[in-house]
């Protein structure tokens, strides 16, 4: 089972679009162009020792995760 191909059944009749009235188009464009890697690097600089990934007994900090991602 997957997601329905037609988004209209999930949104009540059409594709949902955000209301961008009053939003600077340049700022919106820049805000939507954020790479996942950039977000990880930013989180690592702000919260280097906080847990980024927790799986059973393994805890990986943002610093460790960012370092591993950069090494790839």
**41 within some domain:** yes
On whether residue 4 sits in a domain, the answer given is: no
What is the reported pTM? 0.53
Give the per-residue pLDDT at 32.
67
- Tell which wins on pLDDT, 45 or 23: 45
Query: Residue 61's domain spans which residues?
Result: 23-71
pLDDT at 7 over 70: no
Q: Is residue 2 part of a domain?
A: no
35-69 pLDDT per residue, tens: 777 889 989 999 999 999 999 999 999 999 999 99
Q: Is the pLDDT of residue 71 over 80?
A: yes
- Judged by DSSP in three states, 54 sits in strand
Q: Does a structural domain hold residue 15?
A: no
**Residue 39, in any domain of the structure:** yes
Asked whether residue 5 is assigned to any structural domain, the reply reads no
Residue 8 lies in a domain: no
How many distinct structural domains can be found in the chain?
A: 1
Mark out the alpha helices in 33-61 (DSSP H runs): 36-46
Q: Is residue 31 in some structural domain? A: yes
């Amino acid at each position: 089972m997957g997601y329905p191909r037609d988004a209209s059944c999930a949104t009540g009749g059409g594709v949902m679009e955000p209301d961008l009235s009053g939003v600077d188009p340049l700022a919106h464009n820049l805000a939507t162009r954020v790479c996942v890697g950039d977000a990880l690097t930013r989180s690592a600089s702000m919260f280097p020792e906080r847990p980024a990934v927790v799986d059973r007994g393994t805890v990986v900090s943002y610093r460790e995760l960012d370092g591993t991602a950069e090494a790839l």
